[in-house]
């Protein structure tokens, strides 16, 4: 087990202080929340993704997770997205959430690799909850995939919503087929300002079948930050973005078909910066075109 040194604890505490200061600057602006189409429930538009973030079960990871979840809740956020295949992430989150008694303040989404009752039981145990907010079938590849087991679990009260996910353009045809036939409550896809294929294919269909949209990998697996390294945000974007992270996230939120964006991070200060995109002005359609053209021109 990795032990947190006094220096390490101080560093985490300092990051948390920076996070609180960043959040305080945005407190006066209205919270951006989106309606879940199948129910009318409103969901805060920035959440937390956990792929490759909390996959190790050790003291350092749990402490960082506690800081990040606390930062999320303090800013009015609710959504945490994880998966049974993300190492120990479910266990880390389950422990953190239970210890802080935050379950009722969170919208917990997880994913199964297959419609397997044993896998679902394991996820519920690891997350220390009797009921999930969103249960998703991970990485849909089969256009004939049935969601009958997920709908049965939903009817049994084991989850409130069901969904499907994919971060591969090669599987978009399967996603489209399942989305149109099964009509899940949510679809989660890979979408960023430099990867806009979902705008043409998935978002219009999601709107048609009244499915909420979660967008994973909003920073393009780090490509976007590498592309703008050393550059300042354009003057024309400072009215709606205070950082590059907010620039990238607000491009996505500028499309009203997007229900929530789920950037991953293990840094409380980065979490606070991400959450800043949940308040303040959003770019209009002309500004979004300018944002896309700017990134394409790098």
Cβ atoms of 42 and 93 closer than 8 Å: no
pLDDT of residue 27: 58
d(CA 47, CA 28): 20
pLDDT of residue 46: 98
**CATH code linked to domain 6-296:** 3.20.20.100
**Domain spans, the chain:** 6-296
pLDDT of residue 9: 33
Pairing of strands 42-44, 48-49: unpaired
- What Cα–Cα distance (Å) separates residue 242 from each residue in 40, 227, 233? 30, 18, 8
pLDDT of residue 29: 83
d(CA 53, CA 274): 15
d(CA 58, CA 85): 17
d(CA 287, CA 274): 20
**Which residue has 């009015």 as its token pair?**
76
| Tens digit of each residue's pLDDT, the chain (298 residues) | 333 332 333 344 444 444 444 444 455 689 999 999 999 999 999 999 999 999 999 999 999 999 999 999 999 999 999 999 999 999 999 999 999 999 999 999 999 999 999 999 999 999 999 999 999 999 999 999 999 999 999 999 999 999 999 999 999 999 999 999 999 999 999 999 999 999 999 999 999 999 999 999 999 999 999 999 999 999 999 999 999 999 999 999 999 999 999 999 999 999 999 999 999 999 999 999 999 999 999 9
């Amino acid at each position: 087990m990795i032990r947190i040194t006094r220096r390490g604890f101080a560093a985490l505490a300092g990051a948390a202080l920076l996070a609180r200061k960043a959040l305080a600057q945005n407190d006066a602006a209205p919270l951006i929340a989106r309606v879940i189409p199948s129910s009318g429930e409103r969901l805060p538009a920035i959440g937390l993704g956990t792929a490759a973030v909390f996959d190790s079960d050790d003291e350092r990871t749990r402490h960082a997770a506690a800081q990040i979840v606390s930062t999320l809740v303090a800013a009015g956020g609710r959504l945490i997205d994880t998966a049974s295949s993300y190492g120990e992430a479910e266990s880390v989150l389950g422990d953190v959430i239970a210890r802080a008694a935050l379950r009722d303040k969170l919208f917990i989404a997880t994913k199964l690799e297959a419609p397997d009752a044993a896998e679902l039981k394991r996820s519920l145990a690891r997350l220390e909850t009797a009921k999930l907010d969103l249960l998703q079938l991970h990485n849909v590849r089969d256009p004939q995939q049935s969601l009958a087991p997920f709908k049965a679990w939903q009817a049994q009260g084991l989850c409130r919503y069901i969904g499907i996910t994919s971060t591969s353009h090669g599987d978009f045809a399967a996603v489209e087929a399942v989305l149109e036939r099964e009509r899940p409550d949510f679809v989660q896809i890979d979408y960023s300002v430099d990867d806009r294929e979902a705008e043409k294919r998935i978002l219009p269909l999601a709107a048609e079948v009244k499915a909420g949209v979660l967008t994973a990998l909003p920073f393009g697996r780090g490509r976007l930050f590498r592309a703008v390294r050393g550059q300042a945000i354009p003057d024309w974007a400072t009215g709606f973005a205070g950082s590059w992270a907010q620039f990238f996230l607000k491009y996505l939120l500028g499309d009203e078909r997007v229900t929530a964006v789920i950037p991953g991070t293990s840094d409380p200060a980065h979490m606070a910066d991400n959450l800043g995109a949940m308040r303040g002005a959003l770019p209009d359609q002309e500004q979004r075109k300018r944002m896309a053209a700017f990134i394409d021109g790098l």
